[in-house]
Amino acid sequence: MTVPPKVRLAGRRLLQAVPALLGIIIITFLLTRALPGDPAVYFAGPAADAASIAEIRHRLGLDRSLPEQFLTYVGDLATGNLGTSISTGQPVLQEIITRLPASLELTLAALLIAVGVAVPLGVLAATRPDGWVDHACRFVVTAGVSLPTFFTGLALVYVFYYLAGWAPAPMGRLDIISLPPEHVTGFYLIDALLAGDVAVARSVLAHLALPALTLALFTLAPIARMTRAAMLQALGSEFIRTARAAGLSRRRILIVYALRNALLPVVTTLGMVFSFALGANVLVEKVFAWPGIGSYAVEALVVSDYAAVQGFVLTMALLFVLLNLVIDLTYTLIDPRLGLEE
């Protein structure tokens, strides 16, 4: 039985990710134990005596040696148990499942906005070097790289919520008078549309607009810059000159030949930007009180919540592995020859 090339590629990428995941588990475990503060002291409260703190430390397993704690942690991971968060009292896995869709919805919305603006802007800038579009592209790239996300978010809130009154209060994913849609995907916008609830969908869009725009301004800069550079290189290639000499239309040359050949570095950049956006989510979620996984990780770090921090890092590592797999498979769609390489 012949295994399809894409299946072999996916299998190789997953096997290559196993050592990386093992290293992440070990490093995360050691780094969380090096964090300042004692979770047992936080959990016991300011009025607890030494005996109560020692009892809680024993209950949490923190009085054992590091090798024993690590073996217990790996054993729990093997059964799908990420532990219990001491800051919320809930299982970490349940918290991640509940909060992760909010972060992914925000990140994907921002990437859609960024790609929708950056790719056409980069293409136009490459076709008109040193023109006003090219200068506008450079300005957007410079602004996107220079402005911190928390500053951009606060500025947008000040202008569109405080001054203009167009945007809702930056307090989560929905108005306080609206009920969340029935859970299907965890993405409020998709769930509201599936339920046919137009009012909730409008509320979700209104609350999603400013945080998604904040994150999009941060992510579109590298996408626009890479699109412009890749298109300039493609348009100066020999095959483009041959296509022009053959009498092909400008539109066909630009879209079918130049843009398709420029997509590989753009897709690579898009994967990197997605990773950066998940990290930048932390600040955006704090500014807009967005109940995502980033704000959950920050709160866990403050109180040295080992289980929550480890669960967050492991989740992000798995997302990056899946993202790299998707990028590799996307390469084979853009250039089928890559799927045949062993």
DSSP at 297? H
- Sequential pLDDT tens for the chain (342 residues): 566 666 676 677 777 777 878 888 888 788 777 767 667 776 776 777 778 778 877 777 777 888 888 888 888 888 878 888 877 778 888 889 989 999 999 999 999 999 998 888 888 888 888 788 878 888 877 777 778 888 888 899 999 998 988 988 888 888 888 888 888 888 999 999 998 889 899 999 999 999 999 999 888 888 888 888 888 888 888 888 888 888 877 888 887 778 888 888 888 888 888 877 877 788 888 889 898 888 888 888 777 777 888 888 888 888 887 887 777 777 776 666 555 454
Q: Crossing angle, helix 198-235 and helix 260-287, to 10 degrees?
A: 140
The Cα–Cα gap between 181 and 191 comes to 6
Domains and CATH numbers, the chain: 1-87+303-342 (no CATH), 99-292 (1.10.3720.10)
Alpha carbons within 13 angstroms on the beta-carbon side of residue 259 total 15
DSSP at 164? S
Torsion of CA 74, 76, 80, 83, to 10 degrees: -110
Structure tokens of 110? 């921002």
Q: What are phi and psi of 84, to 5 degrees?
A: -115, 135
The Cα–Cα gap between 340 and 342 comes to 6
The Cα–Cα gap between 104 and 274 comes to 10
User: Cβ distance 298 to 339 under 8 Å?
Assistant: no
pLDDT at residue 112 in the model? 92
User: Cβ distance 173 to 158 under 8 Å?
Assistant: no
Which residues face 91 on adjacent strands?
Answer: 84
Q: pTM for this structure?
A: 0.82
User: Cβ distance 266 to 226 under 8 Å?
Assistant: yes
Structure tokens of 256? 């079918």
